[in-house]
Structures are given as structure tokens and as C-alpha cells.
Amino acid sequence: MSANQGTSRAAMFAQGAVAVVGALLFVIGGWAAALIGMLALLGTPLFAIMGGTSQLAWLLHPDYGHLRFIAPTVLDERFAGSPILVTIPLFTFVGYLMAESKTPDRIVRASRAALGWMPGGLAMVCIVASTFFTTLTGGSGVTIVAIGGLLYPALRKQGYPDKFSLGLVTTGGSLGLLLPPSLPILIYALIAGIDYGKAFKAGLIPGFMIMGLLAIYSVYIGIRERVPREPFDLKECGRALWHLKWELLIPVIILGGLATGLTGLDESAAITALYTLIIEAYVYKDISLKKDLPRIAKSSMSLAGAVILILAMANALINYVIQEEIPGKVLHMMEGLGLTETWQFLIVLNIFLLVLGMVMDGFSAILVAVPLVLPFAAKFQLHPFHMAMMFLLNLEIAFCCPPLGLNLFISSFRFNRPVVSLYRIVVPFLGILTFGLLLVMYVPKISTILIDPDIRAARAEAEKYNSPPREAWLLECVQNDRNNPLPCSEEDKKKWGPSGTGVPVETESEVRPAAHEAEGTDPDEDLLKQMMGGSDEGSDDDALLREMLGGGATENEGTKLSDDEALLKEMLGGGEGESEETGEKAEGDDEPKPSKPPSDDDLFREMMGQ
């Protein structure tokens, strides 16, 4: 009875919290915001929230009121034509195949044979195995269930403390997010519009650095707790690695095809899926094509379909956000509050991403947050791959962060522990991950050093044609408009102008010649006077121009017209005046030329031969 009363009170408290949040949203954003917020809190699927928000936003728009603009960014080449849409279901299928087979056992055996002799060796086995598995599955839940389920009992049996063992397998569920071919990296690259191959390279150093920091902590625990080590057995190590050889070729197929250019991302994913199915069904014979394959395919495609559906709905919502320039308005408001320094933005960004990562799964957080934060990153000119690594590392931390981290709930379910008991257990690991995040934040070269050769190559290519290095700018700083990249450094701004058009700012003030500046006259005004028949003295060219327009030579010029000039005057009908040198009349001229300059009507009659 007391349990039922506790459940009833919790339900009443939750309903009250939803009502309060709904009322607050109604005051701030009206009935539409309140409805969407309450549906989200009540557990409505994310794709429905995003799609419904897009429809309401366009229908309630004062200038549109229809749904014509809901789909352009969903159907354009950047989304519908992206190879990542094909890659997501294929890599998800590969991960499920490996999870349902005995691949986790083989990974643990090989890692243990290679690293078990070191201090903290079995803990490092957990780190390596979890990272390798997460890169292929893309989900922390599968890793905790598969790898954690195998290694947690082994860690306890070997003598590692319970809290350390449980915290390690909980944290290990998200360690592979920064390493290729991680699905979060692919989805981030799709939404942010960056090259996924370069994003893979950018994640190598931060990903291995985080593994190294956790390995150092594991060695410390192994020495402090005097955990017995396993003797190194070369034969066992060789046998274990040989038994794992077919799975070890999976990352080689993916990364090798991309590095050599023989396959694209979608082609590598298709080859990998077929290869994994063959080795698991026919080589290892862990999976039955009749009994297991339909179930695995159904589960993996359900997850992949949900991700793609969320992607489509998120793009529809992003279209409205961009149309209404919402990030720019938020940026203007935050600048008004004093957010003008890069370090201030980084602190706010990391807090925002941690909170978002706790209440959403990784894919959803990427889809919601990336379009919102990119305009701010462009304002502060952050490196696009530095931004990507900070973003993904924040998600990695958020998965383990109390009170709502996803890994906490999965680990609680898998190992039958209260969620609250895991809060203190994961704190040391969160400290290590946070230290790694600070290093990535304030030492950008950790994320960008492997991209520098591509930037230099892009600059060299542009220099061959003496053109602005636009491809290099896309790699150097986040751009608001990737079709019209702007310079990132002050040196490039001085050389190519702030707009990157190739016209430096200094040249705009150098157009006017120094002679005119000294005289205080404008060459455009002089030319206008001459074309209108003005009488200012000038060069022979100026006199010729006046004569072409019907104006006679001035009396004080004192220069003799050449035969060509006289002929030109006759062709234009202006050869009736006296010669300036002899004063003789021209042929067929009975009356002297009037001193008054011809009017426009006279000039027209002369041109018409009248």
C-alpha cells in the first residue's frame, strides 16, 4: 500500500511539474509553445515534436500561413542526396550483427591476451574493447550490455573495486564517439556541412587522448589495489588475435577504402555489411540466416529508420529556424547581455550541450543543437573541426552525467543497481573526461593539427590561380554561408577584403589619382563637364572629345589641328569654321562661324546633315 502511495505521489508530482512548465511556456511563447513543451514532457516521440513544430510554425506565420516551405532542405541534394543516409542503416546493421554474434567475446579475449600483463591491464582491455565496439555500433546502450556484461564480472573476479569496475563499464559505453567510423561524427558532418573524411581525421587525436587518460587512471587503480596481473603468453596472444582476424579487417575495409579513394562512404558501408554478414554466418557460424537474420534486420532497421525520420523532421524545422534568422536574434540578445568574448561563449556552449545531452539521445541532440550553435561559432570564428570535437566530447560526457545521463539508466538496468547509487561512482570518470574536454577546448591544435595539411594544400591550389583560398576558409573557421565563405584571419581580410571578393579595402581609397587630389577636383566631374560641352582647358584629347560632341576649339588654344582631326570634324559636320592658324575660310563657307557655341538643336541638325 505504501509503495502504491509512493507511486501515486510521484505521478502527481510529475503531472504538477508538467503543468507548471506548460504555464510558463504559455506566458513566454503562447499556446503553441505550451502545447509542444507539454507533449515533449509527456513522452511524445521526438520526430512528431519536430514535425508538428515545423507545421505549426509555418501555419501560424503572419506572411505565409501554408506548408510550401516545410520541405526544401529535406529534399535538396545536401540531405536527400547525401551518402550518409545510406550509411546509417548499413552501419547500424553491422553493429547489431556483431552484438548478436560472439564478437564481444573474441574482442575481450584478444585484448586480455595483449594487455592483461600490464598494471591495470584488464581495465585497459575494457577501455579498448568498449571503444572499438562503440565505433561500429554508434550506441552506448549496446556497448554496455555486450562488452560491459562480459567484463564487469571479470573485473570483479580479478580484484578491481566494485565502484571502479561499474564506473568503468558505464563510462566505456560512449568512448568511441570520437573515432571513425562513428555514426555521431557522420550525422554531425551531415548537419554542419563539413567533410566527413576530415572529421574522421580530426577525431583521432582527441579520441585516443581520452582513452589514454582513462588508461592512466586504470594503471593507478591497478597499482593502488595491488590487482594481480596475468602473465604474458605469446602463443595465447597470437591465437586470440588470429581468431579475431576477420573482425579486425572491418575497420581496415572502411578506412582503407576511404583513404585510397577506391570506395565512397556508402560503398564502404555496403561492402562492410556484406562482409560482416558472410563472416558471422558462414565463417564463425554464430548467426543463422533463417532464425537470427530476420530478427536482427528488423531491430537494426527500426533504429535506423527512427534516426532518418528524426533527421528529416529536424531538417524541416531547421528550414524555419534559418528563414526567421532565429540564431541571429538570439545572438543579438546574448551580445546585449555582455556575451562578447570567445571564452564566455565556450562556457555557455558546454553547459548547454551537457544539459541537452542528458535529456536527449546523441543523435537527437546533434540534430537539435548544431543548427542553433553554428551561427554563434561563426560569430566567434571557431575552427569547424575544433567545434565538432568539443560538441561530440560534450555528448560523451553528458551520457554519463547525473542525474539524467543515458548510460546511468542502461547500466542500472543491466547490473540491477539503483540509478542514484551510480551518481558518485561515475564522478572520477567524469572528472577525467572533463579534463580532456578542457584540453580540447583551450588547445585547439589537438583537434585541428591533422587538418592543417589539407588547409595548406587548399591554399597552394588557390595560389596557382591567384584566387581567394575559399576552400581553405571553409576548413579554417565556421561559415554562416558555405556557398560564400569569408576570410578567417586578419591577414586574409587585408589581402582579399572582408567579403573575400579579391578587392582589398585599401584599393578603394587608391582609385582617385594623386594629381586630382592635389587640385581638389574630381575626375568624374571633369569628364562630365567635357561630355556636356564645358569650356575648361585640357589636353588635346579633351579638345578632340569636345569637337566630337560638336564644340569648336577655343580661341586661346593656339594649337594646330591635324589633318585627321580636321577630317573628323568634317565627318561630324563641324568643319565650317575658320582655321585656327591661317584664319582662312574653309571651302564652300560664305559666312563666318558664329562665336556662340552650337545648341543641342544645331548639333542634331549637323549630325543629320541638314
- Pick from 393, 404, 401: which is nearest to 427 by CA? 401
- Whether the pLDDT of residue 270 is over 80: the answer is yes
pLDDT at 453: 93
What's the grid cell of residue 414? 543491466
Question: What tens digit of pLDDT does each residue of 196-232 get?
Answer: 889 999 999 999 999 999 999 999 999 998 888 888 8
Print the SS3 string covering 231-288.
Answer: CCCHHHHHHHHHHCHHHHHHHHHHHHHHHHCCCCHHHHHHHHHHHHHHHHHHHCCCCC
Residue type, 216: I
pLDDT at 582: 42
- Is residue 317 a part of any domain in this protein? no
* Helix or strand (DSSP H, E) at 332: helix 326-336
Q: How far apart are CA 123 and CA 106, in angstroms?
A: 16
**Minimum mean pLDDT range among 166-170, 341-345, 535-539:** 535-539
- Is residue 543 a part of any domain in this protein? no
What secondary structure does DSSP assign to 420-438, as a single string? THHHHHTHHHHHHHHHHHH
Q: How far apart are CA 9 and CA 5, in angstroms?
A: 6
What's the grid cell of residue 171? 563510462
- Residues 421 and 415: beta-carbon distance below 8 Å: no
Q: How far apart are CA 473 and CA 429, in angstroms?
A: 37
Final residue in a domain of this structure, among 284, 307, 330: 307
- Is residue 149 a part of any domain in this protein? yes
Question: What tens digit of pLDDT does each residue of 233-242 get?
Answer: 889 889 999 9
What's the grid cell of residue 467? 584566387
- Residues 108 and 114: beta-carbon distance below 8 Å: no
- Pick from 453, 180, 539, 94: which is nearest to 189 by CA? 180
Q: How far apart are CA 339 and CA 356, in angstroms?
A: 20
- Is residue 193 a part of any domain in this protein? yes
Q: How far apart are CA 144 and CA 151, in angstroms?
A: 10
Q: Which domain holds residue 209?
A: 80-307
| Residue whose cell numbers read 584488464 | 122
- Is residue 247 a part of any domain in this protein? yes
- Is residue 364 a part of any domain in this protein? no
- Is residue 246 a part of any domain in this protein? yes
What's the grid cell of residue 431? 572528472
Angle between helices 245-260 and 265-278 (to 10 degrees): 160
pLDDT at 570: 57
- Share above pLDDT 90 across residues of the chain, in percent, rounded to a whole number: 20
Final residue in a domain of this structure, among 307, 334, 362: 307
Final residue in a domain of this structure, among 441, 476, 504: 504
**Minimum mean pLDDT range among 6-15, 512-521, 537-546:** 512-521
Q: How far apart are CA 264 and CA 373, in angstroms?
A: 29
- Is residue 325 a part of any domain in this protein? no
**Minimum mean pLDDT range among 295-309, 323-337, 414-428, 502-516:** 502-516
* Ramachandran assignment for 581, one of left (phi > 0), alpha (psi -120 to 50 degrees), beta (any other): alpha
- Residues 125 and 108: beta-carbon distance below 8 Å: yes
Number of domains in the chain: 2
**Residue 110 — very low, low, confident or very high, per pLDDT cuts 50/70/90?**
confident
- Residues 492 and 455: beta-carbon distance below 8 Å: no
